[in-house]
Amino acid sequence: MSFAKKEYEFLKEIGIGPKNFGCYVNGTWKSSGPLISTVNPANNQTIAEVVEASAQDYEEGMQACSEAAKIWVQVPAPKRGEIVRQIGDALRANLQEFGRLVSLEMGKILPEGIGEVQEVIDMCDFAVGLSRQLNGSVIPSERPNHMMLEMWNPLGIVGVITAFNFPCAVLGWNACIALVCGNCVVWKGAPTTPLVTIAMTKIVASVLEKNNLPGSIFTAFCGGAGIGEAIAKDTRIPLVSFTGSSKVGLAVQQTVNQRFGKCLLELSGNNAIIVMDDADIELAVRSVLFAAVGTAGQRCTTCRRLLVHETIYEKVLEPLVDVYKQVKIGDPLEKGTLLGPLHTRTSRENFEKGIQNIKSQGGKILTGGSIIESEGNFVHPTIVEISSKAEIVKEELFAPVLYVMKFKTFEEAVEINNSVPQGLSSSIFTRNPEFIFKWIGAQGSDCGIVNVNIPTNGAEIGGAFGGEKGTGGGREAGSDSWKQYMRRSTCTINYGSELPLAQGINFG
Amino acid sequence: MSFAKKEYEFLKEIGIGPKNFGCYVNGTWKSSGPLISTVNPANNQTIAEVVEASAQDYEEGMQACSEAAKIWVQVPAPKRGEIVRQIGDALRANLQEFGRLVSLEMGKILPEGIGEVQEVIDMCDFAVGLSRQLNGSVIPSERPNHMMLEMWNPLGIVGVITAFNFPCAVLGWNACIALVCGNCVVWKGAPTTPLVTIAMTKIVASVLEKNNLPGSIFTAFCGGAGIGEAIAKDTRIPLVSFTGSSKVGLAVQQTVNQRFGKCLLELSGNNAIIVMDDADIELAVRSVLFAAVGTAGQRCTTCRRLLVHETIYEKVLEPLVDVYKQVKIGDPLEKGTLLGPLHTRTSRENFEKGIQNIKSQGGKILTGGSIIESEGNFVHPTIVEISSKAEIVKEELFAPVLYVMKFKTFEEAVEINNSVPQGLSSSIFTRNPEFIFKWIGAQGSDCGIVNVNIPTNGAEIGGAFGGEKGTGGGREAGSDSWKQYMRRSTCTINYGSELPLAQGINFG
Amino acid sequence: MSFAKKEYEFLKEIGIGPKNFGCYVNGTWKSSGPLISTVNPANNQTIAEVVEASAQDYEEGMQACSEAAKIWVQVPAPKRGEIVRQIGDALRANLQEFGRLVSLEMGKILPEGIGEVQEVIDMCDFAVGLSRQLNGSVIPSERPNHMMLEMWNPLGIVGVITAFNFPCAVLGWNACIALVCGNCVVWKGAPTTPLVTIAMTKIVASVLEKNNLPGSIFTAFCGGAGIGEAIAKDTRIPLVSFTGSSKVGLAVQQTVNQRFGKCLLELSGNNAIIVMDDADIELAVRSVLFAAVGTAGQRCTTCRRLLVHETIYEKVLEPLVDVYKQVKIGDPLEKGTLLGPLHTRTSRENFEKGIQNIKSQGGKILTGGSIIESEGNFVHPTIVEISSKAEIVKEELFAPVLYVMKFKTFEEAVEINNSVPQGLSSSIFTRNPEFIFKWIGAQGSDCGIVNVNIPTNGAEIGGAFGGEKGTGGGREAGSDSWKQYMRRSTCTINYGSELPLAQGINFG
Amino acid sequence: MSFAKKEYEFLKEIGIGPKNFGCYVNGTWKSSGPLISTVNPANNQTIAEVVEASAQDYEEGMQACSEAAKIWVQVPAPKRGEIVRQIGDALRANLQEFGRLVSLEMGKILPEGIGEVQEVIDMCDFAVGLSRQLNGSVIPSERPNHMMLEMWNPLGIVGVITAFNFPCAVLGWNACIALVCGNCVVWKGAPTTPLVTIAMTKIVASVLEKNNLPGSIFTAFCGGAGIGEAIAKDTRIPLVSFTGSSKVGLAVQQTVNQRFGKCLLELSGNNAIIVMDDADIELAVRSVLFAAVGTAGQRCTTCRRLLVHETIYEKVLEPLVDVYKQVKIGDPLEKGTLLGPLHTRTSRENFEKGIQNIKSQGGKILTGGSIIESEGNFVHPTIVEISSKAEIVKEELFAPVLYVMKFKTFEEAVEINNSVPQGLSSSIFTRNPEFIFKWIGAQGSDCGIVNVNIPTNGAEIGGAFGGEKGTGGGREAGSDSWKQYMRRSTCTINYGSELPLAQGINFG
């Protein structure tokens, strides 16, 4: 059997064939659920077929994973780090092909596809260092001959449910940390990017096998909502890391909490860029373009709202509309393309519905606003002038649609920035230190990511990634995000022979 | 108007009269809700009357509090620390009276009442130091001329809902930290300990007023479930810290999450002490007594399950039953009393129902098992021999009832310890380093508090207090618990004039 | 016996008489060394007499202190924190009198005298919090059944040698931290401020005694170089914290190192303020005045060099010379005085010699430059225009003499800032974020204190205080300065029964 | 030209020839100093020749290095981490050959030679993670509109002087951290291990060159005391990391301090193992053997003193003497060899002198005590019964000589452990938690490394390595050792327009 198109042949090098098992359970590839096709968003033609997970596959995978957890937890953290290092090296050896697959199946342009894989590699390297720094604390006890420790121990199994827009980076953020922390990983990738799920898993699996470790330390399922629900309800999974919409995330959270599990949520963003009157306009315009059009507006950190100081409104809008009109739209694998297709036909339909809503709520289309008739899911990058109070501005329309609005003062701009239910990312462009420090301070942006003179997107892995309010409150990647993948215990050891009590209490 | 009894006259010194307003809103004492009586659990006679909060009081309080939040957030953290220091000093000056009130209204013995107030004082001192150490991070950026910061900013308002068993300590854990972190506090104390709520609030209020700060920085309501629900639903309150049962906590959490708020939960415990065959039995017996009988079994950290190595079962049980029989039961304010009343008549009824269930599930009463007929809510401290698999053993019966059971191996003991839905506290008594370190390690206790050779209760404020699983996952008091009272942002500042992208991406 | 002057009578309230023992050894006041007089720098008249320490007093004190160290080390850190809290409270109760004594004996103006005592109080409060946070670490081991800990244990005894310019604050920085860390303190104050030494020690002693702790936990000597040398050579003192000139500090260091002891050095500063062309000139001028004239130029953080962008040179100099001429010089205890006397006649002579050198090296006196003939040690605040390359500009002239110079570019200003042997403090005045962040970055100021839009002086206790290069490298007060007062150990505990080796080595 | 022996041919694969330039300066290999031969300690025959550095080479290298420092400091830390990652990978590709060279030239057995190189690789991986975690702090300011930061910036150039016993691992500890911290490295290896110096440098150089970075970021000199002295005196080198004897280290320190530079010292150890009466004797004996005989007693962490509880003295000594007699002595490259030669003839002579001194001070030879007549520098592993008070027991005899002594109590054992001038490593063998926790606590071992049930040697890189007292106080490898390679600054930024002063001072 061979691929429908010659240009897909490169997939063989990363373990993908025309038809693929969609589950890696108990260290073997198998699956007995529905057969699906995965398509290229640039033309909606089939790339390859995948057999998704059945409920039975899920159960088999989870049983093996539970067993593997008992072994993995006993591997010292620095040794777990060595495994993650090897995963990073295996990815590095396949960077180009893997990046190409990400572009092909997700639809983002090639530099972004490769950048996404590079981010997983960076995470591996970061996690290796972390594997010797998952530090607890020795805390002074108020009682003689007592030692107080704060210990961090693995949770056991971490469930990771990822979305189509970052089909491997988000897995990387979660899995690299979860693994060095001593957890097995159960992954359900997006239903529309199964090949990325499979290719990524094959790389992890190869490393586990080479090191004679149970493959079920990393268990992966291609599948849809059914598998997601199974993970949410599964008491064997103390932590579920979910990336997706606020609506679905909230439902997952309530299911997981009901069984006293924990969630790490990365939900919707509705990210604003503020341009103050002293901003470097050229820098701001380039940043807005990257932030609003990049990944076809399908990043959680995509800039969706542009707040411009009224005195420079025209100076910003004019060049911005100009560059929007010059954006090269086309096959994401082609050199020079800046804007690829939306991920699915449904996304394109949602774009069309969104434009209708925008118009009905008083929005004025400055450029774009229409789809491109073709086999693929292409749309025109769109700028809309609209009131900050319009209902649609509070929502996350997952497409390259940018709302622009004016403001008079810094305080007003911050208020608009903070007026939406989401709290992921935000940026200001200014050279005024007072605004810079107020923006990142107590009365500034209420988001988890707060930038100055850079776009809303493009986070580095060394910081914690995630947002407040409707964005769910989780933090991934750097800083002390790892603590979410472990359980903390406050331990007090009495090594003497007396029993003094805290707070000087005398009992009996 | 004067108190029903002369012995209550001391209450005047801490601002309590025979009839009291139950709300401190907008810096004044007022209230227009139902009039209730608060009673002494040792005799069920009225101590004083309190007018609870109405919905209107609540709204008035919250509006003022929201305004105060804008002021408080601008007070530099070390200055906020100075306010908390003064609160601690004011408490110190009233330690005896305040401790006496806690004993009187809650029913715990006097040393515990005073100890509870001391704990609030300790928290104040701790928070003062913290006010100069709420540190963010400067993180190396991968981009030249970029600075990456992790900032911690106040949330605004923290809602604190506390339970009767620690009517002021839990408020202290939360409020001291919340205040230095820059948050206003909205407190709803337990409906049955309004006098403690009022007395505590008066002390805080006096300090705020002396420093010319708005009283509504600290807003308090005496009230019941209605006020609790209002807090849970209030979008002005980004964080709700709740102490109570797993069942109610879960409901609060779902309400708060629905509006994208956060919860800090301190829910049920079901805490075991394991006695290994090499344990210091005398130390273990004293510890079990304190942990199981202290506060009449109404601590969240009360020892409810005693796991004894089969080879020393009799050696442990015999002296334990002995000391149980000698426990002095009576007025908690009387010197020498070890066991006061349960907090309410309902608690006593639940005890009786619990004993019936125990018996019907095969439990064998070794001592106690009955109530004491009197005006008060006294019961006999009870030891029950029962299977670890009995349903009732999975639940938290809030009374001095201890389940004892045998085990053969360390691994079995850990498994029993971890087999309940709750995950608060746990202890082992042993001198074997292998067991000690395994107990606190990845395959040991799954609780938030993991002790060795001390009881399950009696935590120090320097460590983080709280538990996993059904206990809710929150952490209060020491360590980095303060982070829960702040919002974190990852800030990247470009101070150069170029726009390099993370992961080396090249866009446009 | 009574004081020479009525205005000194207030000293009795803080334990000072007309004639005083200068040693607190083994919990008692005694001394058998030379009798000295301490004088008021405003008139060089005797305030009181002090009997300094003899070699025998020293030995007696150290023997008792060594014994006390064995007890103090066993007091749990939070209990040590409680002692320090009480010291802070005792100071708070004597703030006005104590501040007055500092001004009287040292010569600084009253707000600065009171501010100095307030700083010790702040340090006490800070140290109380710290006493529950002297945290070690639990580090992941690469070997199974091994636990790796980083422990911090007390050193035993810390020697503190302080200078006249901050006769109690520097002791406070050191002693508060040293004490909570579990060390006894041996203090030698400056020979010319013995009354501050005695008064401070009396307060500490009263707290120790009230708590039934050995007084020799805090041992103090009034004395000169002989006692200093004894401390430097004493093998019972693992750490010597020394504040003074680079020259003497270096000698102390070499003596202490010779016996494998450690030093914490706070030596000379030579601090510059850079005024960029976009600076808020009014803010800059006020800051320079405070930084250069405050404490009569006798702070280690005094601004000694003013670097002004050539384009605004006149705009800065003119108002600066103006305010210099209006500075009110006089009795430091008098309200409104901004500039008190130099501390000693010798200081005044050094000022005169310095002015001569300045002139001979091409310096041009813009204002001041002469002493004031009087009983006291007053001099005129002085501004000198001089080349940054003049030899005298590299030295620390401990008087209110400010060197001003021009620069053309930010880079040049930084280079001049960094061109002196000292590295304590530095400031820039600018509103340009590029300069702000470069100034605090890798290619900016090489000092330990790097300010923006505030003077070189006036550090907060929450940060680490100290400097690089000739300033000695020590850090006092906040941040993790406490680590210098403890010894660190990396502990690995094998609790299993195997002997795996690090780096996977196989031996035998 | 070819190697003297065929068995040295493998050296070509790692860039070593029969005659080699000994300096890597300004990115090229050259040298104009004396020609020396490096010999195999197993037979004292020449391996290869090396031209050492001249004073002119040194100056040329330092000038280039100073220039390179300006470039390297501007490379963002995570990018510097990527360079170190590549160094680790290049070493990994040459692990066997490089390990073989270490054994050949230093004389340690092959598993130790390979283990040493593996340690450098581990350090590289660790440093990569660290490159995103060299975190400063954001500290709450007491002043409104002020931001306080603790920044960590590179020092510029770090000088590293290493010893023969770990000819590449110690460089690895220092260079990996120094490089990610943003410093250039100037390395002088031991005069007797120049080939390791050259081979290591070639690997680093290849990576720098591949990345188009100046080779002089890493500058290396083969040479003797002259080069060492030049480094110590060079004001361009703010930090000198020195490994060697306490005597030489002290001299280096005084020279460096004189010019206000900093030292990081790893000096002599005199490490004891304590065997308590409840110890696992078999585990203890194996550990002592590894610790005392490994690397022929030439580790700084070699166990030199064995303290045995009097009740088990014979039980420990008998099997220990037995295994000593079975130790296979011979060519370190041969499989099965446990004890290779001492590093030089001089070392063998020192061993002989030491044995004479031991005897003259009352030491009784239990086994060994003599050299082995051969071409190489072999000696018999030696056990000596001696008083803990003998003078020689206070010194570090760098050879496989173990002093054994008895003790009665834990306290006595700790006192003996602490009674030497050195403070590097120490171990106890016991199963008693009281002893375990006291041993690592305030009144236990005073060393920097404090072990339980493992030998004194074999540290993991995740912890800080180094010791107290005569060992010099430096810390290398893990934990926060990186802070020594950076300079800290406390930065306060006023972004408002007011000038509030700390401690509430009002000036003028």
pLDDT digits 0-9 by tens, B397-426: 999 999 999 999 999 999 999 999 999 999
Cβ–Cβ contact C13 with D under 8 A: no
The whole-angstrom separation of Cα C213 and Cα C215 is 6
Say how far residue A239 (Cα) sits from the centre of its chain. Answer: 16
Number of C to D CB contacts under 8 A, please give it.
Answer: 243
The C-alpha atoms of residue D183 and residue D176 are separated, in whole angstroms, by 10
Report the alpha-carbon distance of residue D280 to residue D231 in Å, rounded.
47
Chain A residue numbers touching B451 (CB-CB < 8 A): 491-494
**D310-328 burial: b if 16+ Cβ within 10 Å, else e:** eebbebbbebbeebbeebe
Which of D256, D290, D494, D503 to mutate to test binding with chain C, by most C CBs within 10 Å of its CB?
D503
Q: What are the chain A neighbours of B464 within 8 Å (beta carbons)?
A: 150, 488, 490
Chains that touch A (3 or more CB pairs under 8 A): B, C, D
Give yes or no for a contact between C196 and C106, defined as CB atoms under 8 angstroms apart.
yes
Q: How many Å apart are CA D365 and CA D388, to the nearest integer?
A: 15
Residue type, C337: T
Alpha helices in C211-245 (DSSP H): 225-233
pLDDT at B507: 65
In angstroms, the CA C55 to CA B216 distance is 61
Question: Does the distance separating the beta carbons of B290 and A508 come in below 8 Å?
Answer: yes
Q: Which tokens sit at A436?
A: 């810079």
Please indicate whether, in this complex, the C-beta atoms of D151 and B133 are within 8 angstroms of each other. Answer: no
Distance CA A492, CA D109 (A): 43
Give the sign of the dihedral formed by CA D318, CA D324, CA D328, CA D333: positive
Q: Residue D474 class from Cβ within 10 Å (0-12 exposed, 13-18 middle, 19+ buried)?
A: buried
pLDDT at residue B500 tops 80 = no
Take residue B187 and report the two structure tokens written for it: 């407190």
Tell me which chains share at least 3 CB pairs under 8 Å with chain D: A, B, C
Asked if residues C319 and C285 have their Cβ atoms less than 8 Å apart, the reply is yes
Place of tokens 């341009």: A275
* Partner-chain contact A135 C136, CB within 8 Å: no
Residue C200 phi, psi dihedral angles, 5° rounding: -60, -45
Mean pLDDT of D37-61: 97
* Confidence band for A504, pLDDT divided at 50, 70 and 90: low
D239 Cα to chain B: minimum distance (Å): 22
Residue D322's alpha-carbon distances to A339, D278, D366, D380, in angstroms, are 77, 21, 10, 13
3-state secondary structure of C369: coil
- What is the C-alpha separation between D192 and D106, in angstroms, rounded? 8
Chain D contacts of A495, Cβ < 8 Å?
Answer: 433-434, 436-438
Of C74, C132, C140, the CB nearest to A140: C132
The structure tokens listed for C499 are 């002997």
* Beta bridge mates, C136: A138
Average pLDDT rounded to a whole number, residues A267-291: 96
Q: How open is the CA angle D407-D411-D416, to the nearest 5 degrees?
A: 60
pLDDT score recorded for residue A497: 87
Judge whether B400 and B378 are in contact, CB under 8 Å: no
Q: Side by side, which strands form the sheet with D19-21?
A: D19-21, D45-51, D35-40
The confidence band for D4, taking pLDDT boundaries of 50, 70 and 90, is confident
| Interchain CB contact of C504 with A (< 8 Å) | no
Instruction: Identify the CA nearest to D15 among candidates D209, D208, D167, D202.
Output: D202
Provide mean pLDDT across the span D269-294: 96
Span B282-290, mean pLDDT? 95
| Average pLDDT for chain A | 96
Interface touch C436/A432, C-beta < 8 Å: no
Of C79, C131, C140, the CB nearest to A132: C140
> Residue B503: is its pLDDT beyond 80?
no
**Cα–Cα distance for residue pair D437/B85, rounded to 1 Å:** 34
- Record: contact D150-B136, CB cut-off 8 A: no
Determine how β-strand D218-221 pairs with β-strand D184-188: parallel
Contact B76 D432 (CB under 8 A): no
Beta-bridge mates of residue C148: C139, C492
| D266 tagged catalytic | yes
Q: Is C236 within 8 Å of C157 (Cβ atoms)?
A: yes
Predicted local distance difference test score (pLDDT) of residue C503: 62
Query: Which chains reach chain C with 3 or more Cβ–Cβ distances below 8 angstroms?
Result: A, B, D
CB-CB contact of D50 with D237 (8 Å): no
- What type of residue is B415? E
Q: What is the DSSP string of C41-93?
A: TTTTEEEEEEEPPPHHHHHHHHHHHHHHHHHHTTS-HHHHHHHHHHHHHHHHT
**DSSP assignment string, C155-194:** -SEEEEE--TTSTTHHHHHHHHHHHHTT-EEEEE--TT-H
Residue stretches of chain C with pLDDT short of 50: none
Q: Helices D110-130 and D95-106: crossing angle, nearest 10°?
A: 120
**Contact state of C140 with A432 under an 8 Å Cβ cutoff:** no
Marked catalytic residue, from A105, A266, A385, A396:
A266
Helices marked H in A364-507: 410-417, 433-439
Closest CA to D383 of D471, D279, D291: D291
- What is the average pLDDT across B192-214? 98
Name the nearest CA neighbour of A276 among A410, A386, A449, A411.
Answer: A410
Interchain CB distance below 8 Å, A492 and B250:
no
Is D480 within 8 Å of chain A by CB? no
C289 touches chain D (CB under 8 A): yes
D143 in contact with B at a CB cutoff of 8 Å?
yes
The reported pLDDT for the residue numbered B298 is 97
Task: Give the pLDDT of residue A502.
Answer: 65
Whole-model pTM? 0.96
Q: Could you tell me which residues come within 8 angstroms of residue C6 by beta carbon, excluding any fewer than 6 positions away? A: none
Burial class (CB in 10 A: 0-12, 13-18, 19+), D353: exposed
Give A144's contacts in chain C (Cβ within 8 Å): 74-76
Mean pLDDT for all residues in chain D: 96
- Sign of the four-CA dihedral A163, A169, A170, A175: positive
Catalytic residue among B266, B385, B396, B476: B266
Q: Which residues in chain B have Cβ-Cβ distances shorter than 8 Å to A505?
A: 111-112, 115, 458
- How far C146 CA sits from the closest chain A CA (Å)? 9
ipTM value > 0.90? yes
Identify the band that residue D34 occupies on the pLDDT scale cut at 50, 70 and 90: very high
pLDDT digits (tens, 9 = 90+) for A332-349: 999 999 999 999 999 999
Residue C383 backbone phi and psi in degrees, to 5: -120, 130
Nearest chain C residue to A132 by CA distance is C140
pLDDT of residue A503: 63
The mean per-residue pLDDT over the stretch A168-181 comes to 98
DSSP states of C393-462? GGS---SSEEEEEEESSHHHHHHHHTTSSEESEEEEE---HHHHHHHTSTTS--SSEEEESS-S----TT
d(CA B96, CA B338): 19
Is B491 in contact with A454 (CB distance < 8 Å)?
Answer: no
Query: In this structure, what are the phi and psi dihedrals at residue C319, rounded to the nearest 5 degrees?
Result: -65, -30
The pLDDT of residue A1: 61
CA angle B474, B478, B480 (to 5 degrees): 70
Angle between helices D169-180 and D77-92 (to 10 degrees): 150
For residue range A434-490, list pLDDT tens digits in order: 999 999 999 999 999 999 999 999 899 999 999 999 999 999 999 999 999 999 999
Contacts of B134 in chain D (CB under 8 A): 140
**Mean pLDDT across the stretch A15-41?**
96
Locate D483 and state its tokens: 């802070």
Confidence of residue D2 (pLDDT cuts 50, 70, 90): confident
A129 interaction partners in chain D (CB closer than 8 Å): 125-133
Secondary structure string (H, E, C) spanning B385-442: ECCCCCHHHHCCCCCCEEEEEEECCHHHHHHHHCCCCEECEEEEECCCHHHHHHHCCC
For residue C473, the chain D residues in CB contact (below 8 A) are: 262
- Contact state of C133 with A140 under an 8 Å Cβ cutoff: yes
DSSP A192-248: T-HHHHHHHHHHHHHHHHHTT--GGGEEEE---HHHHHHHHH-TT-SEEEEES-HHH
Quote the pLDDT of residue B497. 87
Cβ atoms of B206 and B83 within 8 Å: the answer is: no
For strand B486-494 and strand A449-452, is the pairing parallel, antiparallel, or unpaired?
A: parallel
